Amino acid sequence: MGRQHESNPDKKAERLNKESLQTFRRIFAYVKPYRGWFIFSAITLVFSALLGLVLPLVIGSVVDVVLVDGDLGQLNRIILFLFVIFIVQAIFSFMHRLSLAFVGERAIADIRIDLFTHLQSLSLRFYDDTRTGSIISRLTNDISQLQTAVTDNLMALLRQGITLIGAVILLFWLNWQLTLIILIGIPIITLTMVVLGRQIRKASKQVQDALAESANVAEETTSGVRIVKSFAREQYEIGRYTNKVMDIFEAAMVKAKISAVLAPIIGFLAFTSITLTLWIGSYQVVNGNLTAGGLVAYLVYTMMVAAPIASLAGLYAQFQSALGATERVFTIMDMEPDIQNRPDAYPLPPVTGQVTFEKVDFDYVPSAPVLHQVSFQAEPGQVVALVGPSGAGKSTLISLIPRFYDVADGRITIDGHDVRDMQLLSLRRQIGIVPQETTLFSDTVYENIRYGKLEATEAEIETAAKAANAHDFILNELPDGYATLVGERGVKLSGGQRQRVAIARAILKDPRILILDEATSSLDSESEALVQEALERLMHGRTSFVIAHRLSTVLNADTILVLDRGRIVEQGSHDELILSQDGLYFRLYSMQFKETGD
């Protein structure tokens, strides 16, 4: 047992080292496309750092030639030489910093784009299980950590590394015996950095997780601000957010304590080397084994070694923090979408709109089935209404048509084509959706309608708006007409206006299959009448699936599917279903009849 316990830390350390190496490789894979600029930056950095290493030798010469020997004739030439070195070094430093900044910023931009692109490829199940604030935190906080590491810390690390190596080489050249004594502390410094660095990396992950949690609360409170204010829960939300911020503070303090321990230890060991150099070197000068100028040069080089070592501790801590954030980013980028094109998937040809469900089962989790043996066929151009109590599976059923989820058993076909065999883009391009909660983007009315067909002309957009009963209110009620900004999620428009803009967007797309998810359930009578008229125009000639709590909106449907607990319990037209007074449809209709007094 003892041996097993002893080997676990070693295995854990080995695993962490492999993970770190793999993460670094993935980061530098983004640098590879710009390797020409990176090599140029590295070359200019080498020249800049090497010129900086000349300074101690020149200072030593001033001490020996001018101060000790009294040769003032050499002083002007030495000072002029120093000025030339400083000017050339400044030029190389400028080129290095600019080129490395270009590489770093482009690499980060590519990572941002790749992460966002991958997020778009992930299926709805991922978004069902992941809070919006956590996703935003990956795109902002985690990427910012990585950006700092790549653009700022990498530059400093390269410069300090070259300075350190060059200074050590020159120390050996000046006095190898003294250098061996000084470098005894290097293994201790390295071990300290590695041990504490792992703890910093772990603490950094906890900070990023806490940041994501605070972002979740902020996003929820901001998006639901009307609910917060209507329930007078401002202080409650402030308390929630404060708790999350304090979690960030506590995690950050754990990280700060580890960093606070690391820096003084490294600094103490580094500057102990300077003290030893001064002590032992002074003896050698007195004994004639080293000139005064040589000791001065040696002391400056020792400082050049000590300073990078001391700063490397901070840089190492920051890199460990960045690794923690980077791993969170790559964790998402490594996720495989649940819904993907099959290797032999083919584009869906233009369809007539026949939709068939054949003994379809579906569940979000294996132990909780949502749909059971659902079978029906919608003919081209038919209107199919889905009714049933809350939780019956209506929204889940229509989510399977555009293949937002895959069936657990059975199959769904469109014009005889299994939806799993078709390329996703070609499938979804022939399906239009007007959801229950209309989503508009923070842009103009014009751009929100154009979203349905990006290549649409202005005339096509206006025609779609007219068909959706939206053209008149856009021109007469909005301050800037089609150029009016709708606000985040369309907050500047009324519910009916948002619905009509969404309908115009769907009309512009001109899909063969249409899905309306409780599209008029929350509107007033006047708005519902306008929206209902627009929907009838939209549904004309298209296979349409309609979910509505108000049964009056589905009276004229060709087929009504009555769902209860994931099963189709009744099927037929309104006139057929109303005859069965023991049926669920009759009970639902009777309840609404009594409520409305129709």
- CA 271 – CA 182 distance, rounded (Å): 10
Looking at the fold, whether 111 and 151 belong to one and the same domain comes out as yes
Q: Is the pLDDT of residue 362 over 50?
A: yes
Higher pLDDT, 318 or 521: 318
- What is the count of structural domains for the chain? 3
- 440 neighbors 467 (Cβ within 8 angstroms): no
Looking at the fold, whether 467 and 580 belong to one and the same domain comes out as no
Looking at the fold, whether 314 and 290 belong to one and the same domain comes out as yes
Higher pLDDT, 421 or 129: 421
Looking at 299, 333, 367, the residue that finishes a domain is 333
In this structure, how many other beta carbons lie within 10 angstroms of the beta carbon of residue 182?
21
- Per-residue confidence (pLDDT) for residue 231, from 0 to 100: 60
**From 3-12, 320-329, 587-596, the region with the lowest mean pLDDT:** 3-12
Most confident of 129-133, 313-317, 405-409: 405-409
**What is the mean predicted confidence (pLDDT) over 416-423?**
93
- 382 neighbors 559 (Cβ within 8 angstroms): yes
- Per-residue confidence (pLDDT) for residue 4, from 0 to 100: 43
**pLDDT tens, position by position, 485-523:** 888 778 888 888 888 898 898 888 888 999 987 655 556
Q: For residue 10, is it within any domain?
A: no
Q: Which secondary-structure segment (H or E) carries 559?
A: strand 559-564
Looking at the fold, whether 415 and 463 belong to one and the same domain comes out as no
- Torsion sign, CA atoms 319, 320, 325, 327: positive
Looking at the fold, whether 186 and 244 belong to one and the same domain comes out as yes
Q: For residue 160, is it within any domain?
A: yes
Q: What are phi and psi of 196, to 5 degrees?
A: -70, -30
Bridge partners, 567 (sequence order): 564
- CA 465 – CA 449 distance, rounded (Å): 8
Q: Where are the beta strands (DSSP E) in 257-390?
A: 355-365, 368-378, 383-387
Looking at the fold, whether 225 and 300 belong to one and the same domain comes out as yes
pLDDT band of residue 346 (cuts 50, 70, 90) is: very high
Indicate the average pLDDT of the chain.
Answer: 80
Bridge partners, 387 (sequence order): 562
Looking at the fold, whether 300 and 403 belong to one and the same domain comes out as no
Q: For residue 256, is it within any domain?
A: yes
Range of the domain at 445: 440-510
Q: Where are the beta strands (DSSP E) in 275-325?
A: none
Q: What are phi and psi of 356, to 5 degrees?
A: -125, 130
Q: For residue 501, is it within any domain?
A: yes
Q: For residue 98, is it within any domain?
A: no
Looking at the fold, whether 476 and 550 belong to one and the same domain comes out as no
Q: For residue 2, is it within any domain?
A: no
**pLDDT tens, position by position, 2-11:** 444 444 545 5
Tell me how far CA of residue 469 lies from CA of 476, 515, 520, 532, 536, in angstroms: 12, 19, 14, 10, 11
Q: Is the pLDDT of residue 372 over 90?
A: yes
CATH number for 308: 1.20.1560.10
- Per-residue confidence (pLDDT) for residue 458, from 0 to 100: 92
Question: Which tokens belong to 361?
Answer: 């089962």
Q: For residue 310, is it within any domain?
A: yes
Long-range contacts of 240-246 (CB under 8 A, 24+ apart): 241/214, 241/217, 244/210, 244/213, 244/214, 244/216, 244/217, 245/214
In this structure, how many other beta carbons lie within 10 angstroms of the beta carbon of residue 531?
28
CATH number for 461: 3.40.50.300
pLDDT band of residue 206 (cuts 50, 70, 90) is: confident
Q: For residue 577, is it within any domain?
A: yes
Residue 563: HSE in the Cβ half-sphere, 13 Å Cα cutoff = 27
Looking at 289, 312, 333, the residue that finishes a domain is 333
- CA 435 – CA 395 distance, rounded (Å): 10
Read off the pTM.
0.75
Q: Which residues contact 473 (CB under 8 A, 6 or more apart)?
A: 497, 500
Furthest CA-CA distance within the chain: 120
Looking at 492, 510, 528, the residue that finishes a domain is 510
**pLDDT tens, position by position, 450-480:** 988 889 999 999 999 988 888 988 999 989 9
Looking at the fold, whether 463 and 351 belong to one and the same domain comes out as no
Looking at the fold, whether 484 and 516 belong to one and the same domain comes out as no
Looking at the fold, whether 425 and 448 belong to one and the same domain comes out as no
Angle between helices 458-467 and 525-539 (to 10 degrees): 120
Start-end of H helices in 451-494: 458-467, 471-477
Looking at the fold, whether 425 and 472 belong to one and the same domain comes out as no
Pick the closest to residue 519 from 553, 492, 552 (CA basis).
553
**pLDDT tens, position by position, 228-273:** 665 666 787 788 888 888 888 888 888 788 777 776 777 677 677 7
- Per-residue confidence (pLDDT) for residue 545, from 0 to 100: 93
